Amino acid sequence: MLHRSSIEIAIKQVKRKGGSSGIDKMQEIATGEGRTVLFVSHNMAAMRSLCNTGVLIENGTIINTGEINSIIAAYRKSVQDVQHSFEIDRGVFDLSKAGGNQQKNNVIMQKVTTFCDNEISNDFYGGCNFRFDVEILNDQDYKNAMLGFVIKDMNEQPLIGINNRHTGDFFEIQKNKISTLKIEVPKLPIYKEGTYTVDLYLGNFNTDNEILHNAFSFNIFKTDVFKSSNLLDNHINLIYVEKVHFSVS
């Protein structure tokens, strides 16, 4: 039996809101003497900052415990293994097998195909034409469809989160007909090498009907974005800006 003071607080998810920082508050609590903090998250940077020991849970079962960096590495490998299991071909993903499928009604995002400079691939570089097509088969008419995506880095930190409402693009989806929704970023601003994951959200009006966490992944490789023969520092530059000019007067 655990004494009441031995477990000070259990927090399921900590999110930054406004100027306050739940992560900083957790850090304060965690450094206090005689306190055990249970922190559950998909935020790898926060886990590394707050925790010494990690527990990896899959479908309610503990599959690994140990030093936090080793657990984070095991988690990343498990995510990649799952994604590889539903990658039909390089750059083509079967979403019916995707993990984290939260579905209401009977809406299905069936397949994603990723394109680098209009060629099917899941290897990209900063500044490329980044596109992915989502095939949808729906048993309802969507008069005001909404498709959103969130790109996350290697620490599960969101980098870009956009839906068609933000861009002012409106479209309908007809029932019992395969529709292909195309999302294009003409110059992808991500520079840092690594594997990035994407969450997908599909809804009608203001309701999310299907949410896919880690629906697909893609790789970023370094490139000479300024064509100067001098690569940017990969440790500093997570993103890049297209044009920078230096001058003296």
CATH number of the domain where residue 196 is located: 2.70.50.60
pLDDT value at 2 more than 90 = no
Task: Calculate mean pLDDT across residues 1-30.
Answer: 47
| Shared domain check, 91 and 198 | yes
Using DSSP's 3-state secondary structure scheme, residue 46 falls into helix
| Shared domain check, 212 and 94 | yes
Task: Calculate mean pLDDT across residues 170-198.
Answer: 93
User: Which residues constitute the domain of residue 196?
Assistant: 84-221
| Shared domain check, 205 and 137 | yes
Say how many C-beta atoms besides its own lie within 10 A of residue 170's C-beta: 11
* 56: confidence class by pLDDT, cuts 50, 70, 90: confident
DSSP class of residue 239 equals B
DSSP class of residue 192 equals S
User: 164 phi and psi, to 5 degrees?
Assistant: -70, -15
pLDDT value at 6 more than 90 = no
Longest dimension (CA), the chain: 73
Per the model's pLDDT, the better-predicted residue between 146 and 76 turns out to be 146
- Distance of alpha carbon 156 from alpha carbon 162, whole angstroms: 16
| 238 domain residue, yes or no | no
* 197: confidence class by pLDDT, cuts 50, 70, 90: very high
Structure tokens given for 74: 């095991």
Q: What is the mean pLDDT of the chain?
A: 81
pLDDT, position 3: 35
* Percent of the chain with pLDDT strictly greater than 90: 39
* 1: confidence class by pLDDT, cuts 50, 70, 90: very low
pLDDT, position 166: 94
Task: Calculate mean pLDDT across residues 88-106.
Answer: 69
Number of domains in the chain: 2
Cα 99 to Cα 47, 148, 172, 226: the distances in Å are: 22, 17, 27, 38
